[in-house]
Structure 1
Amino acid sequence: MGEFELIRHYFAAAACARAGGDVALGIGDDCALLTVPVGEQLTVSTDTLVAGVHFSDPCDPYLLGQRALAVSTSDLAGMGATPIGFTLALTIPSVDPDWLSEFARGLDTMAAGCDMRLIGGDTTRGPLSMTLTVFGRVPVGQALLRSGAQPGDLLCVGGALGDAAGALPIVLGEQQANTVEAAALLRRYWSPQPQLALGQALRGKATAALDISDGLLADCSHIATSSSVLLVVDQAKVPLSDSLLQFAGAEQALRCGLAGGDDYVLAFTLPADAFPLMQAEGWPIHAIGHVALGEGVRLVDAEGNLVSVSHRGYNHFTS
């Protein structure tokens, strides 16, 4: 099977590859055509996933397809953007019809859940990897940035942290588990749900935001640096799921929540008076600290004492 036949058979025929909405022209020409409404800006983000680095190999191709798109789409959520579409550059060692069919099915499943359309890409032969570029739109002046946090703001997150990190030993085959708790953690690892609706709800409210991919403490440092402020994190307020606590124990669960990574939950700063209003609207958000004068990220206990942390998150070139 040649490259173009492969694209037509496994990807161009998928439901998510149909033009519509903001996609005026999808797969089939040299470029896709996107229509961005007047008064809105295009948001673009690219992620590369490499076998043995970002996911175990071999792994379930259906789950991999879901995860690959979710990881990239989460960046749109972190900007408060409305999704439009994505491109896929896929490198595979050989043409395996069963693998490609399941990968494309997983991709299509996540695309439907995120209202995303496949608008182009490329395929080539080589070690397994994939690069996805996602496109979204946001009203001019309303994109959520990392640079607006102000002293006095609350530091918040959009949900429980650490589940994906708790699942990692199972994913890597270092630990065997067949429990309800383990299954819940594995779902969070393989099928993260980008918080697109929350990101859009934070427009005009949050002063800074991003999605947590490398770990809470590591990613909060990006807000602190961009905003020239100090973020104080109260470790007792970091939300952890019952599944993670039961599976890993309190101490390891906290480590996963603080520095584990792969959460794809939003972290954001919010004026104190906006927090109860968002809770009243039903958003399951958690205040885990505050913004202060200074620089960096400080972890404290319930009494406000500094807590020393040896590992703050994942870094490709030092982890």
Structure 2
Amino acid sequence: VAALRRAAEARSRALAERGAVTDAALEAATLARLQADQAVIQRRQALASARNRLARARVALDRRRVQLEEARRRLEDFVLVAPFAGRLTEVAPLQLGGRVGAGERLARLIDPARLEVAFTVSRSAFARLIDAEGRLRPLPVELRLELAERQVLARGRLVRAGAALGAGQSGRRLYAALEGPAPLVPGDLVTLEVEEPPLEGVAELPARAIGADGTVLALGAGERLEAVPVRVLRRHGDRVVIDARPLAGREVVAVRSPLLGAGLKVRPLREGGAEAPAPGSDQAATGTVRLDPERRKRLIEAVRASRLPAEARERILRRLEAPEVPAALVRRIERRIGG
């Protein structure tokens, strides 16, 4: 438009010089050209102003993006995501909008699938749980938790021994990891049994059969008592497990009395009226007994009615169905059922 106004003004001037147009027409063309130039200047100023506003808007947008990124980082700092799923306990009493200090514990998260059971054993028991190089063997363990009228069973394995002993403690602190989730919580008091490798050439006797000098009274020739030194391998309640090789095929006194001693001639009173096994027989060497059908049936029914794990129950049932059953196993079952 401004270019057309300039061209119109130039024609008017040329015509005015030849006297073809009036001065008024020339002034009108000049005024129109000035107005067009003014419009161009205003539009250029408006364009420059718009560009300035665009630049400011871009700067403001960059600032908003920075603020948004800072807000996201702050939100990530405010949201605590646990690395695993578990049970939440010991939650701190927080309020909405409250401040949390660095290192402040907000709650305690317990993974039920990674619980450990801590227990203490004597040094002699610890020596039986390590290998030749002194490392703790990953032996299986069984845990029992008494809950009113029911019993919760769980299984696990030995995983590590404590690095140090606390003040006034003795023995060794051991830890067993549970195999899979179990209805246990930290602080539960459980009964734990470690399944050791089977012992060979041993016998189980009442603890009262062992004298203060570490001997047992064995029946010798002419039904006279003889003091035989034995090595106690295990102690379990009122029962002991001894190395039976020095006593192979011999009978021993189950309950000692101050009236009994080496050299005395006695009349043996055998448990249940059973005859002594012949010296050197398999039954005497391995500590097994033959069960009558009624007794075997009663033991099998007691095991089937127990809350033992299926694998352990089947293993015991297979041993009870054998022609000869370990005497220690029979006594243990009968003690539990009151037989």
* TM superposition score normalised by structure 2: 0.24
* TM superposition score normalised by structure 1: 0.25
- Determine which structure has more spread, i.e. the larger CA radius of gyration: 2
